Amino acid sequence: MKLLKAKVNSISRVTSNVYRIGISSPLLARKSLPGQFLHIKLEDKRVLLRRPFSIHRVDRTVVYILFKRRGVATDILSNLKKGASLDVLGPLGNGFSYFGDTAWRKSIKENIMLVAGGIGVAPLVFLAQKINALRGTDYKPPILTFLGARAKSEVLCEGDFKRLGSKVRVATDDGSMGFKGTATDLLKNQLRTKICQLKAYVYACGPQDMLRSLSAVLKKFPGLVCEASFEQFMGCGVGVCYGCVIESKAGYKKVCKDGPVFNLRDIY
């Protein structure tokens, strides 16, 4: 974990209220793992606390965040220009387990499923990047991504996942694209097919309601392991203030330090 000043390398508007910022930092690019986050401080009196953002992707020496404009901090971020300086603490937290872990390697021989609700796609693109980088080695796990959004105009990163070798299924609340319903409903349908016989790894990120309903679905499929990234309001971001706790089956956990990625079965 480092505290550093880094320059905005690029900024682009992805949808009406979602933006992507590239941050130049060879160190962050080298050290970051999927599921970890950056804690960003803004030079603006209206924003006292740092704000957490998942590492969305890494290209050579640039790390990206993908964010939704929600309030003051994200509004300021969306108006930054190339060359602006950012005060960044990171990479922070425990990310998704993948590859290095032999248990993971064994269990994902068959399938990897990514389940994203809205802006929850952000960390899953980086994970798909890392998994895709394994292609050409001795095994090539199939990836199936379920993208949930309110409407077609809000579907994020479909092309990124496809370029990274994943099949993509889209679900929209209003039915304007793909399946009408949520990403979790879509996963549930998929699990009714032959996939339910297999062991698989499910990685998820989205609103807590989505993670709760995902956990209800997974109860019927004990062969599935699910790691999920949780969002919570944060203070320090480094385990000191207890501002980010969530209740797990083993007591309270700090999202910033123990997470943000947890085994979903440890939480619900």
Binding site for ligand FAD (CB under 6 A): 37, 51-54, 65-68, 70-74, 119, 122, 231-234, 255, 260
Residue 241 found at the interface with ligand FES (CB under 6 A): yes
Q: Specify the residue, 49 or 84, whose C-beta has the smaller distance to ligand FES.
A: 49
Q: Specify the residue, 1 or 240, whose C-beta has the smaller distance to ligand FES.
A: 240
**Position among 187, 204, 244, 264 found at the interface with ligand FES (CB under 6 A):** 244
Alpha-carbon dihedral angle through residues 121, 126, 34, 254, given to the nearest 10 degrees: -20
Q: Which does 3 bind (CB under 5 to 8 A by kind): ligand FES, ligand FAD, none?
A: none
Residue 165 found at the interface with ligand FES (CB under 6 A): no
My answer on whether omega of the bond before 52 falls inside 30° of 0, hence cis, is no
My answer on whether omega of the bond before 260 falls inside 30° of 0, hence cis, is yes
Q: Are 25 and 63 in contact (CB under 8 A)?
A: yes
Q: Which does 268 bind (CB under 5 to 8 A by kind): ligand FAD, ligand FES, none?
A: none
Integer angstrom CA distances of residue 106 from 33, 102, 103, 198:
20, 6, 5, 13
Stretch 205-234 residues interacting with ligand FES (CB under 6 A): 234
C-alpha triplet 251, 211, 98: angle, nearest 5°: 85
Measured CA to CA, the distance from residue 24 to residue 224 in angstroms comes to: 37
Q: Which does 236 bind (CB under 5 to 8 A by kind): ligand FAD, ligand FES, none?
A: ligand FES
Alpha-carbon dihedral angle through residues 155, 160, 163, 165, given to the nearest 10 degrees: -80
Q: Specify the residue, 41 or 199, whose C-beta has the smaller distance to ligand FAD.
A: 41
**Residue ranges binding ligand FES (CB under 6 A):** 234-237, 239-244, 254, 256-257
